[in-house]
Amino acid sequence: MARVHFGIASFAMAVCLVPGSAFAQAAAPTDTAATSDNADHQDAPLNEILVVAQKRVERLGDVPVSVGLVQGEQLKSLNLTSFEQMSRYVPAFNVAESASGNRITLRGISSGTNRGFEQSVGMFIDGIYTGRAAQFSSPFFDVERVEVLKGPQSILFGKNTVAGAVSVITARPTKREEISLSGGYETRFGGWDLSGVFNKPLTDNLQVRVAFKHEARDKGFLYNTKSLEHEPARLGNIARVSLAWQPGEVEVNAKYEYSFGKRQGGLFQIFAPGPFTGTFTAFDPNFESKLDLKASSGAPGSDLNTISAHNASLRINVPIGGASLTSDTGYSTYKAATKNEDSDFSPVPVLFFDNGEKYNQFSQEFRLSSSSSADQLTYTAGLFFQSAHYKGTPWFRVTSGALDSQTRRVFDQKADTYSAFAELGYELAPGLKVIAGGRYMIEDKSADRSLVIYNPVTGVPETSAVVIATMGSVLGARNFSLHQSIKEKQFTPAATLQYKIAPNTMAYAKFTRGFKSGGFDASDSAGTAVPYDSESVSAWEAGLKWGVSRAFNLNLTGFYSKFDNLQVQAFNGVTFITTNAAKASSRGVEAEARWTPVRGLTLSGSVVYIDAHYDNYVGASCTTGQTAAWTGVGRCRQDLSGRPLTDAAHWSSTVSANYEFGIGSDWNMRLYAGANSRSGAFVAPDLDPLGWQKGYTTLDASVELLAPSDRISVSLLAKNISDQRAKTYVVNVPLFSGAKAASIIDPRTIEVRVGLKF
């Protein structure tokens, strides 16, 4: 009944405030250099917002896809610098940071944090696919908008988008000279940032844009009673240079970006000590297990995580008659390191983790598309190639009484992907259009995996049979070395029927097949894991996009997705278990809208109901309680058939009000208030009752004063005003069966920001 009440309340609030996920006024997308100058869209009708969700510039109301849209103005005004922060403003989309990587969830579907996984939610930055969860951790800024495409995108985006795609469009050079600086200071924990943008037309057909950002937070929001430090401290740098060139009718856009991030300190705090309160208190008398921003683990200087990345892309667009040929070339590489991580999350110095990661990828796509102005017949066809190489070298060290030993693993994976795709749209009758196509993909993957138990004192492989046997029982670790490979071929079709009821009203129904390739378990410590199977989905969706008036629009969507062999992972307190859930499904409805009742005022938000659960999953990892009571043969297994998926809240909603008005002498005031709500959900993969997070709401607000021509801006913004405590991820504490640790959402923060334009 509580869930029903929460849903009714969410829907009522959304209807009253006229919800919608987009925030700012309409803005033309910079999918090509032709949209280089951003005009003032203060008075643009809401149904004229433009997106590139289908690899061509279209009005949002004409796109037969459910799109969660976060405009660059919202990212800037609320200082949203990570996907974890941004995801709260798109209902049914969530990014949670964990010790082993980000978990990305869309409509209840996620891939877990296994470093061998590519995500079920594909990420594309300026059209370039980036498939590793670590690439979701890079800070972003100077972004025009983020488009969250919900549901499988099997043709135009294609690779590994069984749950959806996140498309980030960065700001590109314009023909308007601009120099701007902005900075902010967070008053509660002392974080600050400084960024700048330099945009200049070098000639009539050549423009350059240089942007940089530095952010630092010396004090994290968790006070570690053992190390006496505030954790995690963070540091981030990012720099980007972009060139836009228009030799005749050809358009060329090139970009290079470098980013560096550092996190010092842990993310998790023990909230359920199980039977170990006395043990933990013996090592830290100040240990406690409340979600009150206190942790107890590690030592000064431990838990150091760094990542540096280089990204480059080149887009060339050549008009050919009534069509255009586009070439997208991308290169991405990153190095990440974890040093001296306290992997038991407790004050007992027993388990430590080091890791090094290297990743690089090259991709090339050629795409031939009909003109956006084509009426009866439209088409897109293309070829795609990607080569990727990932290498991880995790080291675990256990120090427990007389046992002092270390495991060193190597996970070295190479993957090549080849695909061809085509989509054809044809107007059967005035307003009635059918769109159909498919993608054929071949993927080759191979991995070299090994583990060696080392003596950390001598630095050579362990020879003691007792130590080797003990490591097998304590960590499930055994020496092994093996080579594995798979080759998969898949065809993913899609078909859409679209009807233009009125100039600003469109209904659609679509069917899509999606596919994500199988792979190898990067967390396997015994060499016994077989390659996990590919993941596939059959999805149905129907929607109505209704432009009621110039100032009001409403979108309604219903969806049903059926997954086979969903790739999942859970930690049972000793080892990670990676398997395929035989069948799972996600179904639900979405309602979103926007309303500008008077000039300068926009009311927006959305509400989503989802039922995402396992239809058949009999080999799931047990909870620690079930494991303790297990009397069967082999590892403990539980049947999760009919149970909800991880982080699949039934209800989620966001509502906001944005009001900009003049206060005399060409000065303006901009006010924002918003609420983001989620109903209860399990945030532990094993669905342990202690992994349940009840529903909660976070409130944000900002006040901004703008000088004439926006040359000076001063703002005050507050996030999580009510200082909510909510778990985002729950794990079993290694080696302490029954104890649980959790990461939580950021507490209340208050920032003062200043911006200058020259």
HEC letters along 596-662: CCCCCEEEEEEEEEEEEEEEECCCEECCHHHHHHCCCCCCCEECCCCCECCCCCCEEEEEEEEEEEE
**Tokens 């358009």 belong to residue:** 251
Domain boundaries, given as residue ranges, for the chain: 2-757
If DSSP codes are grouped into helix, strand and coil, which group holds residue 242?
strand
- Point out which residues pair with 511 in neighbouring strands: 495, 540
Tokens of 222: 């968790």
Q: What would the DSSP string read from start to end of 273-304? A: -TT-HHHHHHH-TT---SSSSEE--S-TT--E
Please report which residue ranges of 426-464 form alpha helices under DSSP H: none
Residue 523, sorted as left (phi over 0), alpha (psi -120 to 50) or beta, turns out to be: alpha
Q: Which residues of the chain have pLDDT under 70?
A: 1-48, 99-101, 112-113, 131, 133, 135-139, 158, 372-374, 401-402, 570-577
DSSP state of 533: P
Contact 635, 662 (CB under 8 A): no
| pLDDT value for 11 | 37
Residue 503 burial class via C-beta count within 10 angstroms: exposed 0-12, middle 13-18, buried 19 and up: exposed
Residue 599 burial class via C-beta count within 10 angstroms: exposed 0-12, middle 13-18, buried 19 and up: exposed
Tokens of 166: 């996140």
For the chain, first and last CA: distance in Å? 57
Contacts of 731 (CB under 8 A, 6+ apart): 98, 99, 268, 345, 571, 684, 740, 741, 742
- Point out which residues pair with 160 in neighbouring strands: none
CA-closest candidate to residue 274, choices 740, 608, 681, 668: 740
Contact 314, 126 (CB under 8 A): no
List b or e across 611-640, with b for residues whose CB sees 16 or more CB atoms inside 10 angstroms.
ebbbeebeebbbbbebbeeeeeeeebbbeb
| pLDDT value for 28 | 41
- CATH architecture of the domain covering 2-757: Beta Barrel (2.40)
**Tokens 């008075």 belong to residue:** 43
Q: For strand 601-616 and strand 576-595, is the pairing parallel, antiparallel, or unpaired?
A: antiparallel
| pLDDT value for 550 | 85
Contact 165, 122 (CB under 8 A): yes
Contact 523, 114 (CB under 8 A): yes
Q: How far is residue 277's CA from residue 611's CA, in Å, rounded to a whole number?
A: 37
Residue 412 CB neighbour total at 10 angstroms: 16
**Tokens 């061998």 belong to residue:** 116
CA-closest candidate to residue 223, choices 291, 306, 278: 291
Q: Containing H/E element for 467?
A: helix 465-474
If DSSP codes are grouped into helix, strand and coil, which group holds residue 528?
coil
Tokens of 372: 């956006």
Contacts of 167 (CB under 8 A, 6+ apart): 52, 53, 124, 127, 146, 147, 148, 149, 157
Contact 68, 148 (CB under 8 A): yes
| pLDDT value for 83 | 82
- Point out which residues pair with 668 in neighbouring strands: 662, 706
What proportion of the chain, given as a percentage, has pLDDT over 70? 90
Tokens of 668: 């303006």
Tokens of 515: 């596919």
CA-closest candidate to residue 614, choices 533, 687, 531: 687
Residue 542 CB neighbour total at 10 angstroms: 16
Tokens of 570: 């859970």
